[in-house]
Structure 1
Amino acid sequence: MLTLTSPVETRYHRLPAGPKLAMLAGFTFSLFWLKTPLPLACAALTVLALHLPGGPRFILHALRMLRPLWLFVLVVFIWHLWTGEYRSGTALILRMVTAVAAANLVTMTTRLSDMLAVFERLCAPLAPLIPPQRLALAFAMVIRFIPRLGEVLERIRDAWAARSPRRPGWRVLLPAILAALDDADQSAEALRARGGAE
């Protein structure tokens, strides 16, 4: 199982997963009440300040985790530049980057097993309908395959660039989907070989 926990130890690693996830939920919810760029910029600076105790390696790792977001930031920026809605575009970008950076901070400082334990406790009321362990396993698989899909896309783009001077564009989608389905099939076979999710 892939872990996104940072190898750089910080004081946040020692905090329990439940309170961290609760604070993240409250902080993310509050971002949607902020409508103008100035308070959102203050929230972004707050998240940045929370990264500083981890040191340069921790901050660089956090920036690398934000890399998949920059394409969305660029699309939103170009759209709002074209429509002339600079204020709302800036607010949207700040809200998006701040929320993802805060979520990454929690992910980097919390073991996946601890997050799954919290998720199982939250899903306990659904036990008569579906076992919480299965929901937790599905949650873990989503966390596992999101960065995996990013890696596959990057490899496909590199392979395209080595063979053609043109931009790949939409052409990488089909190979990426097939690779994701292949990974899912292999994971299902591995789970079945181990007896599945009890």
Structure 2
Amino acid sequence: MISLTSPVRTAAHSWPAGAKLAALCVATVVLFSVQKIGWHLAFMTATALLYALPGRVFFRSGMVRLWGLWPFVALIFVWHVITHDIATGAAICFRMVTAVGLANLVTMTTRLSDMMDVVRVLLSPLNRFGLQSHRIELAMALVIRFTPVLALKGQALVAAWRARSPKRPGWRIIIPFAVLAIDDAEHVAEALRARGGVSR
């Protein structure tokens, strides 16, 4: 669900990354402090409107990235139906979709380098205690950058399986997916070594 920067230019692209990340933190705190389902429905509707404001292309791109949430939403809601607590299940589902949607909205309108600049400022005081903050910055950048890449490769594996077999892929694609992830990790490690590594 963590996406790359959207090619569709919006007004939010010019906003400071620190302000957007701070607003995301505040919004997340509010989401988890509110319990009434009506409020969560309103928050989710407002998030959908934020996706719709930049236009159809931006909205469709954002919704495609959020579609991966549906198995988790379905599992949580079914469990609460079984336990006869539908209201709580719906509130949790609305909260999860809204929180991930807002986080995805931030990454779609913020360059990775700008977010890493914010992380660098926040972690810089820890350098006094021997923590090498640049390693954490690199790790976070790699996670944000390669999460959507691995998700796309997983979807390609599923599509390839379905083209060759009527059976559902299920656990059968775990091993080839792991091999792809390890292969990508090796290529990235080689590229980092070729550029001098991560030490300063």
Gaps in structure 2 of 5+ consecutive residues: none
Superposed displacement of residue 60, structure 1: 0.8
> Counterparts of 1:61 and 1:159 in 2: how far apart (Å)?
23
Deviation at 1:7, TM superposition (A): 1.1
Structure 1 residues 1-198: aligned runs within 5 Å: 4-128=4-128, 129-197=130-198, 198=200
Contact 2:41 2:94 in 1 (8 A): yes
- Between the aligned partners of 1:138 and 1:182, the Cα distance in structure 2 is 17
- Aligned identity (percent) is 45
Q: Could you say what secondary structure the match of 1:127 adopts?
A: helix
Deviation at 1:9, TM superposition (A): 1.1
Offset of residue 104 of structure 1: 1.0
- The normalised TM-score by structure 1 is 0.94
CA drift of 1:131 comes to 2.3
Unpaired segments ≥5 residues, structure 1: none
Structure 2 CA distance, aligned partners of 1:98 and 1:152?
26
Contact kept? 2:17, 2:115, Cα under 8 Å: yes
- Flag the structure with more relative contact order, 1 or 2, with Cα contacts below 8 A and sequence separation at least 6: 2
Contact 2:4 2:148 in 1 (8 A): no
Tell whether the 8 Å contact from 2:24 to 2:103 is kept in structure 1 after alignment: yes
One-letter code aligned to 2:52: L
- Superposed CA offset, 1:7-65 (max 9, x none): 11111111100011000011011101111211111111222222232011111111011
| Cα-Cα RMSD | 1.3
1:152 and 1:77 map into 2 onto residues whose CA distance is 28
Is the contact made by 2:35 and 2:91 (CA closer than 8 Å) also made in structure 1?
yes
Alpha-carbon distance change, 195 to 9 in structure 1, aligned in 2, over 3 angstroms: same
